[in-house]
Structure 1
């Protein structure tokens, strides 16, 4: 199991051994493959050169002891309040594209005039070199609320024996938090996630440009497996669903989203129609559990809306699980006849088998 944990007090985050796993390589269409070699070189060069830019002055982030937690939708703090029945569909915000400023911030200056979908595909083509980082989300690293100037944290991966030599290390550490309730005196919980700025910048149209990566201090890091990452503060509506969202942006495995959002995975052999599956959920699981999962999906929707994520397959998956959960809850409440249960959306047709 992979873990992020502090080292020597509070200024280091240590990455333990990483499991070997062959990632899924994104398929490229004919237009993207024609430019694959050229874009791949540009992207990798941008990733390396971005570390040579930026200011070296920074504060340090204080990291408390890591707290391993199993994240389940049942722990979601997204509370749903509707005057009547929940809406049949989740509204979609107006589409917006990633800005040229965001591209330049991650070193893609030469690609600002390229079609954004093509650039996204090229980012996905090198994600296998990033993909190991998704395993880090099994555990979290917390710190107390810390305000002030720019912050950095040292990511230590010297204890990782199975880290592939071709791995591109993360560029930033996201400090994810949510605004506490005005009446609460509890300190704000902040969770740290190592990320690659190019992955988030190409998917999150509403995300502010990433801060520059400070140059590597060779005097302090020579001979070690460490990298100093700038910390980017980010408030999200639903911290509970954020790890799953990041894993999807890295893996693009939509079945993982569907299976996490539902209390039981839908049958994959065609042995049960949607109406029967909704009836099974209503009979097998409590209304409270179904409502918790609905709240988890609602939180995922809020995160996608706030960050400006317009991935079509992800939105189709949210529509699919939302409709199933709404129907299942209405069946459990006796508000809907089980045989008439037919969610308006269907399973994402382009979802992979794994």
Structure 2
């Protein structure tokens, strides 16, 4: 349970491609994850003593209501980007009529996500979120206090600046934190056979990682889809790396997601090796 226990980081070493490395030392390059998620206390102090696994299970069961809440925001009043030097303290967003019969649970904040790697990128991606969804899954977050409720037909959401290595990759992670679909993560990184994505489960991911033949087939598919273009495959590798860096920066630890990113890295590296061989 989430009692008032001290935060004790767990060294989680990973090799350059993200696979767990039991030989890695607890150096500055290791991922340091706390045993409890402090953001819960800020986002929902009443849940501090509730077991984290229970909170996560409830959030999964309530995902349809939260997704309905996100879709209730009028798109024309949620800018996709804003200058990060001129962010408003909050956004006033009209609400649309729900598009489904599910009663919506409205988001609580808008994250203004900008790049931590580039000082030349002056724009921030605006991403509505439910603070508890992030707080239950990420160990490193800006403080997300005071969730807001709808007033009449308008929602007033605080704007919270946040810097990450890849703002674009964060939108992928945000989707996963709501729907937990592994196929949704893979298919935005690079081309994957539709038959493999159908009903993709964590057990299927692990089985594929342990099968040299299955990995080869997926790498070959990607290589052929990119027409053996090494530059294109390098771009796909960068997509995986961006996702991994954001996961580290957020302190997002989900075994299913980490294994899927490991699989993606193995596939793209295999495809790059095939492309090099074919060009010789």
Q: Which residue of 2 aligns with 1:249?
A: 177
Report the Cα distance in structure 2 between the residues aligned to 1:169 and 1:124, rounded to whole angstroms: 15
Q: Which residue of 1 aligns with 2:104?
A: 167
Q: 1:124: how far off?
A: 1.8
Q: 1:307: how far off?
A: 0.3
2:129 pairs, out of 195, 200, 204, with 195
Report the Cα distance in structure 2 between the residues aligned to 1:97 and 1:208, rounded to whole angstroms: 18
Q: Which residue of 2 aligns with 1:153?
A: 91
Q: For structure 2, which runs of at least 5 residues remain unmatched after alignment? A: 1-14, 21-29, 199-203, 205-212
Q: 1:258: how far off?
A: 1.5
User: Radius of gyration: which is bigger?
Assistant: 1
Q: How many residues align?
A: 237
Q: 1:127: how far off?
A: 1.8
Q: Which residue of 2 aligns with 1:20?
A: none
Change (3 A) 1:226 1:291: same
Report the Cα distance in structure 2 between the residues aligned to 1:255 and 1:215, rounded to whole angstroms: 33
Change (3 A) 1:275 1:99: closer
Q: Which residue of 2 aligns with 1:142?
A: 81
Q: Which residue of 2 aligns with 1:106?
A: 43
Does residue 124 of structure 2 align to residue 124 of structure 1? no
Q: Which residue of 1 aligns with 2:26?
A: none
2:268 pairs, out of 286, 309, 325, with 325
Check whether the contact 1:263–1:289 (CA below 8 A) recurs between aligned residues. no
Report the Cα distance in structure 1 between the residues aligned to 2:194 and 2:264, rounded to whole angstroms: 10
Report the Cα distance in structure 2 between the residues aligned to 1:257 and 1:215, rounded to whole angstroms: 31
RMSD (Å), alpha carbons = 3.1
SS in 1 for 2:157: strand
Report the Cα distance in structure 1 between the residues aligned to 2:35 and 2:188, rounded to whole angstroms: 28
SS in 2 for 1:241: helix
Does residue 37 of structure 2 align to residue 96 of structure 1? no
Report the Cα distance in structure 2 between the residues aligned to 1:155 and 1:207, rounded to whole angstroms: 24
Give the TM-score normalised by the residue count of structure 2: 0.73
Q: After the TM superposition, which parts of structure 1 deviate over 6 Å for at least 4 consecutive aligned residues? A: none
Check whether the contact 2:69–2:105 (CA below 8 A) recurs between aligned residues. no
| 1:66-85 → structure 2 map (5 Å cutoff) | none
Check whether the contact 1:123–1:199 (CA below 8 A) recurs between aligned residues. yes
Report the Cα distance in structure 2 between the residues aligned to 1:213 and 1:336, rounded to whole angstroms: 56
Q: 1:293: how far off?
A: 1.2
Does residue 118 of structure 2 align to residue 181 of structure 1? yes
Change (3 A) 1:127 1:108: farther
Check whether the contact 1:134–1:247 (CA below 8 A) recurs between aligned residues. no
Q: Which residue of 2 aligns with 1:279?
A: 220
Q: 1:283: how far off?
A: 3.3
Q: For structure 1, which runs of at least 5 residues remain unmatched after alignment? A: 1-85, 338-354
Give the TM-score normalised by the residue count of structure 1: 0.59
Check whether the contact 2:70–2:107 (CA below 8 A) recurs between aligned residues. no
Report the Cα distance in structure 1 between the residues aligned to 2:130 and 2:53, rounded to whole angstroms: 18
SS in 1 for 2:146: coil
Report the Cα distance in structure 2 between the residues aligned to 1:294 and 1:205, rounded to whole angstroms: 26
Q: Identify the structure with bigger relative contact order (alpha carbons < 8 Å, sequence gap 6+).
A: 1
Check whether the contact 1:134–1:250 (CA below 8 A) recurs between aligned residues. no
SS in 1 for 2:216: helix
Report the Cα distance in structure 2 between the residues aligned to 1:87 and 1:104, rounded to whole angstroms: 33
